[in-house]
Amino acid sequence: MVPSFRCNTFSNRLAVLDELELKYGLTFGCHPSQFDWMHYRIKEFLELPNLKEDWQIKRERLLQDKIDVTAFWVWFVENYPESVKEVKAKDFDFGRFK
């Protein structure tokens, strides 16, 4: 995984990217009027000695927090329609798909 930089008018408007930026520090967004800031940040990142290792740690943190969506859907489809009832139960544990 490598740093992601985006320069567009959607900056700070998309929940998934905002989470990746604010919670995990894996992406950076800026408005086109802030292009100079983005250019400066890219130069900063290129000078980091442990960039790959640091990003691997951030990636692992993200993966620890999230489920394997493919595993969930395989289970859901294979166990349909009972799976619908299970997912709707208050005590359903999505953590088993990590």
pLDDT in tens, 48-97: 999 999 999 999 999 999 999 999 999 999 999 999 999 999 999 999 99
If DSSP codes are grouped into helix, strand and coil, which group holds residue 5?
strand
Q: Cα separation of 38 and 58, whole Å? A: 20
**Per-residue confidence (pLDDT) for residue 41, from 0 to 100:** 93
Look up the domain containing 80 and give its range.
67-98
Pick from 50, 51, 42, 46: which is nearest to 5 by CA? 42
In this structure, the answer to whether residues 51 and 89 fall within a common structural domain is no
- How many domains are contained in the chain? 2
Q: 28 phi and psi, to 5 degrees?
A: -135, 130
Phi-psi region of 48 (alpha: psi -120 to 50; beta: other; left: phi over 0): beta
**Per-residue confidence (pLDDT) for residue 3, from 0 to 100:** 83
**Would the pTM of this model clear 0.95, i.e. be above it?**
no
**Which residues lie below 8 Å from residue 24, measured CB to CB, with a gap of 6+?**
58, 61, 62
Q: 73 phi and psi, to 5 degrees?
A: -65, -35
In this structure, the answer to whether residues 18 and 55 fall within a common structural domain is yes
In this structure, the answer to whether residues 12 and 40 fall within a common structural domain is yes
In this structure, the answer to whether residues 30 and 44 fall within a common structural domain is yes
**pLDDT, tens only, 1-13:** 678 999 999 888 8
Residue listed under structure tokens 């927090």: 65
